[in-house]
Structure formats: structure tokens, C-alpha cells
Amino acid sequence: MGHEQETLSEFVEATATKFGVPGVAVGVWADGREVYGCHGVTSAENPLPVDQDTLFVLGSVTKSFTATALMRLVTDGRVELDAPVRRYVPELALRDERAAAEITVLQLLNHTAGLDWRMSVDTGEGDDALAAYVARMSESDLIASPGTRASYSQMGYNLAGRIMETVTGLTYERAIASLLFEPLGLSHTSFATNDVMTRRFAVGHNVSENGTPAVARKWKDSRGNNPGGGGASSAADMLRWASFHLGDGRAQDGAQVLPAEALLQMREQTVELRGSTLGDAFGICWFLRDVGGVRTIGHGGSANGQFAELLIVPERDFAAVALSNAGPEGGLAFNQAAVRWALEHYLGVVDRDPEPLPHDEERAREAVGSYANDLMTLTIATDGPGLTIECGIKPEIRAAADTELPPDLPPAGLGLLPGDADEYIVTGGGLKGQRGFFTRDESGAITGADLAGRLFSRVVVVSR
């Protein structure tokens, strides 16, 4: 045990230093025991040492709480997965009335509702934040008809959080605490800034103009985004969370929180995913991915200058969590390296990126263009010998924001992958290793680009 702890700690220190991450916490559950490696500080401006109980913003790993809590309500007979969302949220209104009536609870949980990624709205910090958020959904267009394709949606999970409110009569945060955090003893997991600020917590960092880590001033997203990405937790609590999903649905005191069948149901494939680094399929919330011959379940998360990664291997009773407080060039790269190291070191499982094809100018020319969703733009261009991809927040959204937003990512290399599935991989920069694919219409023209499970539709320039 001591040797393993030292080895993990050595890897974490060397890799965090290599990527310039101010603070990281890594936890591994293997062979029935916990091992931690922590390095660095909570903040470049007000530094405290990071340890296994330091809270980081989880971003979208929070979705695993939302989905699991809803499964509790399903097993209690209070929610039905195949029921229309309007049974529980009758006020739901979308521009497409037929879709608003058809979307089911399960389609929210496996990202097949046809909703766009997210809305750039702040509905305040009051108890009505989620209700107000759902009211604003009437302004959003669908990216597909319900049930026809998977496309990752923060909006869908925030709507799922509203279902929890209407069914329980509690706020989302109070419902999650009573359904999960309290029975499972997750005492270092919270949504409320007032709870977090009394504990040791990490702040995000983005790279400043002189290349050093600068504190990100917006610590986490607004309350209306809590179900999709507003939780904060520690490495130790996230291993407790993983061990619950590896178990039989009981809490440590023996109380049955969920039937074991419900946990297994969450791992079963509900929809296939194409060309995604995140997984081969969705279960209920979980990304399902085969790595080196073993089936994994997991979820990642991003916040302003913070990243989280949770990976579970049920058949090997294994889990790894990595938390970091730096932008994608450092934090995302560190988390990926840490989880891959843990897989190889503890399980002998090797996870490698696929190799792109040599540059094909004719194929590359088809992909060049601008793509967008509600919040962000992708620009794919050619620099002569290859393709580049640039990812950024829409200028009008950045201009209208009254708080600091994460910086845009500069252009990075993009390579097309073998096969006829129109898949690609980012080969450099903060999104290195991320995979995606192009969508074509009946004529064969590219109409969209998926990246990290999110659809970006091609922007058509109308000539006058």
C-alpha cells in the first residue's frame, strides 16, 4: 500500500508539474482499497495545499447525481422513464409544440431529446432559478426530433432537475441532498457556495497573457445550471460515489438507497454514440466505453478553469477520479493522463488515441467552414499541409456576459480518421485527443460536426 501510494503521488506530482496545473487531486479504488495522490495548491493567489478532501467544481460529472436521484424516484414509482416530461413539468414550452409534448424522461437522461447543448441564461440564485430556466427554454430551437439521435445536452439535465422539484416539492439541491448525499455520507459534496466556502476548495485558473495561471473569477455556473453541472466535491467523496455505483445499492450503514437492478440498468446501452472520445454509447447518464477489452462507465466535467474525470470499471471493481484546477491545456490533459496511468498501472489496460490518416486535401476541403450551436462556434480551416480546428464562445454571448467566461481555444491540428464514418480527432492544443464526426445530408454535403458529443450545425453563408 505504501509503495502504491508513493508511486501514484510521484506520477501526480511529475505530471501536474509538466502540464503547469496549480492543484490536482487523484483517487483510485483498486483491490478493495483507496489510494490518493494530491499535489499543488487551491489557488495561485491564496494558496493552500490540495488534499483528498479539497472541493473542486465537478461540472458535468454532476449529471450522474441527477440521473441517479431520478432513478430513486423511478424505483419508488413516482416517476416513469417512458412518461412524457410534461406529466411532471406541464408548463414546458418549446418552439416545437409537438416535441414539447413528446419528449420523455429517459430522452433527457440519455441525451436523445433533441435539445441543444445549453442556453446562455442566468436566472438568478433564488429557489425559482430552475423554474425560470425552464421558462426560457421556449426560446430554444431543437437540433433534432426527439428520439432520433444522441446529442449531449446540459439543457436536458436542467429540465430533469426541474422534474425532481415538481415531484418532491423540494428544491433540486435539497432533493439531491435527501435522496443521495445524506444517506451516502457525501459530506464534502454540495451545490451551495455558502457550504463550500467554509471548507477547503479549489478555484479555477486560465492561462494569462504572460503564460502563467490566472485565477478565474467566476467560480461556478448559475443555479439554473446546477442539475447539469453545478456540484462541487472532493476526490474522497467521488470515490465513495463510485464505490456506491460498484456496489449493491446500499449505503455504508446497510440502508438500501437503490435496488441493485437500478444501478445495473444505468450501465445498459440505451443509444449508440458515433465518433466520440467520451464513449461508444450512453446508458442512463453514463458514457459507456470499451477500453483494452474491458467495459468502462464514466463521465467528465468542465467548469471555468477546472476539470473533473470519473471512470469506473465494474467488472474489475475499479474506479479512478481526477480533479484539476487549470484550463484545458493543463487540466484536461492532466486528468486524461492520470486516468490512463491508473488504468494501466492497476489493471494493465492501455488506452491510446487512434492514429489519423495522412492529409487528404480533397476530403479536407469538404470539412472547411464554420459550425455553431446555441453557445459556441467551431471553425475548421486548412493551413496548407493539414486541417485546424478553433473552438470559442460566440462573440455576442461573450459581449453580453457580465461575468468572466473561459478563454477561447486557439487553432489546433485536426486529423481525419480511417474508415467511412467521417470521424476525426484533434491532434493538438487543449482539446488534444477529442474525437468527433461529420454529418452529411442526402446529397452527401457536410451539414454538421459533432465534438465531445455535441452537435455544431454548419453555418451557411447566404450570398447576396
Q: Between these two residues, 212 and 53, which has the higher pLDDT value?
A: 53
Q: What is the pTM of this model?
A: 0.90
What's the pLDDT score for residue 207?
84
Tell me: pLDDT of 462 over 50.
no
What is the DSSP annotation of 140-180? PPBSS-TTS-----HHHHHHHHHHHHHHHSS-HHHHHIIII
* pLDDT tens string 162-189: 999 999 999 999 999 999 999 999 999 9
Contact indicator for 262, 71 with CB cutoff of 8 Å: yes
H/E stretch holding 63: helix 63-75
Rounded Cα distance, 220 and 203, in Å? 9
What's the pLDDT score for residue 218?
87
Contact indicator for 300, 56 with CB cutoff of 8 Å: no
Catalytic annotation on 60? yes
Rounded Cα distance, 338 and 44, in Å? 22
Cβ-proximal residues to 354 (8 Å cutoff; 6+ apart), any chain: 417, 418, 425, 435
Question: Span 354-376, mean pLDDT?
Answer: 88
* pLDDT tens string 30-46: 999 999 999 999 999 99
Question: Span 420-435, mean pLDDT?
Answer: 86
Question: Span 345-372, mean pLDDT?
Answer: 90
What's the pLDDT score for residue 6?
60
What is the DSSP annotation of 321-385? EEEE-S-IIIIIHHHHHHHHHHIIIII-----PPPPPPP-HHHHHHH-EEEE-SSEEEEEEE-SS
Tell me: pLDDT of 233 over 90.
yes
Rounded Cα distance, 309 and 330, in Å? 14
Q: Are strands 454-458 and 387-393 parallel, antiparallel or unpaired?
A: unpaired
- CA neighbor of 13 nearest in space, from 33, 39, 31: 39
* DSSP label at residue 201: B
Tell me: pLDDT of 320 over 80.
yes
With H, G, I as helix, E, B as strand and everything else as coil, classify residue 51: coil
Rounded Cα distance, 333 and 154, in Å? 23
Cβ-proximal residues to 133 (8 Å cutoff; 6+ apart), any chain: 119, 121, 123, 158, 162, 224, 225
What's the pLDDT score for residue 3?
56
Gap between the terminal Cα atoms of the chain: 70
Which of 43, 60, 140, 276 is flagged as catalytic?
60
Give the mean pLDDT of the chain: 92
Evaluated on CA atoms 3, 5, 11, 13, the torsion sign reads negative
